[in-house]
Structure 1
Amino acid sequence: MNIYHPTTITQTEMRNINRSAIFDYLRLAGTSSRAEIAQKLKISLPSVTRIMDQLLQSGLVHSVGLEKSERGRSRELLEVNADDNLVIGIDLGGSHISGGLVNLGGEVLHEFHASTAHDHGEENYATLVSFLQSLLEQAEKQPARMLGIAIGVPGMLESRTGTVKLAPGLGWNDYPLLEKLERDIPASVILENDVNLATLGEQWFGAGQGVRDLVMVAIGTGIGAGIILDGKLNRGFAEASGEIGYFLPGVQFLNRQYPGFGALESVASGRGIVERATRRLVELGDSQKSSELHAVDVFQAAQEGKPWAVETIVETVDYLSLALANVTVCLDPELIILGGGVAGSAHMLIEPIKARLQGVIPRVPRIEESALKGRAAFLGAVTRVVQKHVDYLVVYNS
């Protein structure tokens, strides 16, 4: 059994904390001088100068000229070198794959989409490699350098080895993804849970900017959550934090087996919504099958007032309300962001969920729609790759 105890901080970790704080300040401020950063962050000017020189040398930061200070002296202005650094972000879904070539400022320069072959692991891997090669070809045409690749995987990862422990939507089980990519792709690759990657994107570029405690819930082929507490991504003991698709949305879900997808996913994911809607249609004598129906069709029919769809969406709101209530009382986030493929219909979910939770739990957090929508993982790739390059380590005062 591991025994955890308080630890001290090393000089290296202290430098990482300062470097992370300086980079974050510059990223949010747009431009700043060494003296201003030292004053605002209460770090000595020699320390700021030393760290800034390292960032300049790394190419992550560049000079944008001089300005006169209040005392009449000229001081160098610095900013994040957005245009000269590129990141490839990949969002692997159970039914699709999306990829983007993005600069450090969050500008998407190129974007690609393709379908994945559900449950066919090697076909999905071949699609991923072909997809990456296309994006790398686009990157080679740019004058900027390629900083790295981050891939969002819809499942449980072992970060130490890069093994996908479980990704049922892609047919991967104990799949050595990073090992295979390092053999086939001539670039640095980071693997991350797909919802974690999207959450990092919202934290730096979207609805989560300036929020220290947030949860992003992605509703697509499956359901998952990315959790940021005290400014840091929370992975959990077994790196399975946020697997809320396995929530039990009622006692009737006990003592049953859920192969592949979890109980909440079986009823409230895009697939679950379609399956419940299809059952209602069959009961009404409609022969339409789930393969002919998509979640967006159910939401559209509900807006049109069709009873079978309205009942399905009302039930979906009930299931999601239970899930978000549990998330809130356990984690106490300031903000919950709804994202994923179903996020386009979030306006039909958010207010009904908030109404159901009023008076039921001590505090209802802010619940908002994803600001980045389908690009959240692309921009999260920027966050993840940059954080690796600056040895990101963040600490906030209580």
Structure 2
Amino acid sequence: MNHHGGDASLLRRLNSAAVLRVLRHREATTLTELAQLVQVSRPTVETIMEELLEQGWAEECGQERGMRGRPAKRYRFRSSAGRVLGLSVGAYRLQAVGADLSGRVVQSSKAAIFPDMTADERLDAIERFVAECSEALGQRPMAVGVGTTGVVDDRGRVVKSSVLSGWSGLGLQDELSRRISTPVVVENDVRLAVLAEQWRGAAVERKDVLYLFAGNRMSLGMLIGGKPYRGAHSASGEIAEHATGLWQVFGPVMDFAMSVEPGELRSPAQAAEFAFTRASAGDQRAADAVTALAVGLAEGLVTVVGPFDPEMVIIGGSLSSGGAYLVEPIQEHLNRACLYPPEVVASGLGNDSVAIGAARIALEHTESDIALGNRPDPALPHAP
């Protein structure tokens, strides 16, 4: 039996994948440089580049004038060849970011949902939302990443959820894959938030990071050795309800908000944001309430920071809007209480962090398609 045809085809695909890898990690390059970096002949690179240009994975980007002879053409990876979608599923909101294949965000959308929806109603809403976002992107996403609250295992199943009704035990990745005609990857929202911080936020080039997600619920995300930590039961970072009440730490800002506007009922996160606004306007009582909130958070963080020994603590979720009003008291407390105090920062990604992290895992899922040079999907028929 003759295997030479198959061997040649495999070698061509491997060389093509190698050329694509180089293109993705360089701004622009010439055929000669590609041949040297991939360690193949220039005629081989020319043939591969013709295919990549025809498939839409590469494009010309000007010329480089040499010492003599004709200017050398330069090529780059065509990041607009495909799109991915990152989706955050919360109790009250769906949020999405669309990104090109370089990770640049090109579109963002939001839609309202409700925590007491049935699972089917919520799935229907997600399906419609993804279709709307795909139309806005102008083409079908190569992959959709989804971040959701709850304990999510490595198969994209929601093991437990105390926030969304009907979500516990749901094989979310399988369900969405049946409804959406593109690959779907599902992960816990706070693990995606800390991944987003490492990719596009405060934790770039950091390897050991603690991310506090605090808003209308509280969770921790941990980056250990550069990777989000899942835990033995995929429940890493889930903070159970304390006997004295999870929101006791928010008491100072809730009391302040109630004293200023007694008839206005606010959630703990809303009370905190109200106090941030008043503190930034010069209200000393508001500033004192925020400091008390920060000290309460710091006292809880010490119990994790000590044994974990992170290099950075990120305050995320809606509390990130507190900025220095929260960061400085927390930093001072950790400086006193910790042997090696980490740097404390407020997230600059805010409420976008989960969707951005979801876009990141969607991009990772596309790596094999890109490496194999599979042709990108065409634009949707009714795209604007």
Q: Give the structure-2-normalised TM-score.
A: 0.73
Residues 79-99 of structure 1, C-alpha deviations (whole Å, 9 max, x = no match): 443211211111122332211
Residues 253-285 of structure 1, C-alpha deviations (whole Å, 9 max, x = no match): 5xx387xxxx3xx345xxxx3x66445666789
Contact 1:215 1:228 (8 Å CA) reproduced: yes
Q: What is the distance in 1 between the residues matched to 2:54 and 2:308? A: 37
Contact 2:151 2:160 (8 Å CA) reproduced: yes
Within-5 A mapping of 1:31-110? 31=28, 45=39, 62=58, 64=60, 67=64, 79-110=76-107
Q: Amino acid of the residue matched to residue 221 of structure 2?
A: G
Q: Does 1:197 align with 2:176?
A: no
Q: What is the distance in 1 between the residues matched to 2:194 and 2:29? A: 27
Q: What is the distance in 1 between the residues matched to 2:83 and 2:217? A: 30
Q: Does 1:173 align with 2:168?
A: yes
- 2:380 matched residue in structure 1: none
Structure 1 residues without counterparts, runs of 5 or longer: 1-15, 393-398
- 1:138 matched residue in structure 2: 136
**Which of these residues, 216, 226, 234, is aligned with residue 221 of structure 1?**
216
Q: Give the structure-1-normalised TM-score.
A: 0.71
Contact 2:257 2:275 (8 Å CA) reproduced: no
Residues 92-137 of structure 1, C-alpha deviations (whole Å, 9 max, x = no match): 2233221122212333332221222123343433332221221122
Q: What is the distance in 2 between the residues matched to 1:281 and 1:320? A: 18
- Greater shift, 302-311 or 184-193, is seen at 302-311
Contact 1:97 1:113 (8 Å CA) reproduced: yes
Q: Does 1:290 align with 2:274?
A: no
Contact 1:157 1:192 (8 Å CA) reproduced: yes
* Count of matched residue positions in the alignment of Structure 1 and Structure 2: 344
Q: What is the distance in 2 between the residues matched to 1:26 and 1:57? A: 12
Counterparts in 2 of 1:35 and 1:202: CA distance versus 1, 3 Å = farther
- 1:156 matched residue in structure 2: 151
Counterparts in 2 of 1:99 and 1:71: CA distance versus 1, 3 Å = same
Counterparts in 2 of 1:241 and 1:33: CA distance versus 1, 3 Å = farther
Deviation for aligned residue 1:214:
2.5
Q: Amino acid of the residue matched to residue 162 of structure 2?
A: P
3-state SS in 2 of match to 1:128: helix
Q: What is the distance in 1 between the residues matched to 2:283 and 2:231? A: 42
Contact 1:182 1:189 (8 Å CA) reproduced: yes
Within-5 A mapping of 1:284-323? 286-290=262-266, 294-304=271-281, 309-323=286-300
Q: What is the distance in 2 between the residues matched to 1:294 and 1:198? A: 23
Q: What is the distance in 2 between the residues matched to 1:94 and 1:155? A: 11
Residues 169-217 of structure 1, C-alpha deviations (whole Å, 9 max, x = no match): 2222222322321222222111011122222222222222222333332
**Which of these residues, 349, 364, 367, is aligned with residue 326 of structure 2?**
349
Structure 2 residues without counterparts, runs of 5 or longer: 1-13, 370-384
**Which of these residues, 353, 359, 362, is aligned with residue 385 of structure 1?**
362
Q: What is the distance in 2 between the residues matched to 1:83 and 1:237? A: 39
Contact 2:221 2:228 (8 Å CA) reproduced: yes
Higher relative CO (Cα under 8 Å, sequence separation at least 6) belongs to 2
Counterparts in 2 of 1:390 and 1:318: CA distance versus 1, 3 Å = same
Contact 1:124 1:170 (8 Å CA) reproduced: no
Residues 236-261 of structure 1, C-alpha deviations (whole Å, 9 max, x = no match): 22112222x34x9xxxx5xx387xxx
- 1:373 matched residue in structure 2: 350
Q: What is the distance in 1 between the residues matched to 2:195 and 2:355? A: 10
Residues 152-179 of structure 1, C-alpha deviations (whole Å, 9 max, x = no match): 102211222x221223222222223223
Contact 2:97 2:359 (8 Å CA) reproduced: no
Q: What is the distance in 2 between the residues matched to 1:75 and 1:384? A: 36
Residues 47-91 of structure 1, C-alpha deviations (whole Å, 9 max, x = no match): xx99xx799699796354564789999987554432112111111
- 2:302 matched residue in structure 1: 325
Contact 1:195 1:377 (8 Å CA) reproduced: yes
Counterparts in 2 of 1:36 and 1:334: CA distance versus 1, 3 Å = farther
- Greater shift, 281-290 or 145-154, is seen at 281-290
3-state SS in 1 of match to 2:79: coil
Q: What is the distance in 2 between the residues matched to 1:294 and 1:183? A: 41
Aligned-pair identity (%) = 24
Contact 1:31 1:78 (8 Å CA) reproduced: yes
Q: Amino acid of the residue matched to residue 301 of structure 2?
A: L
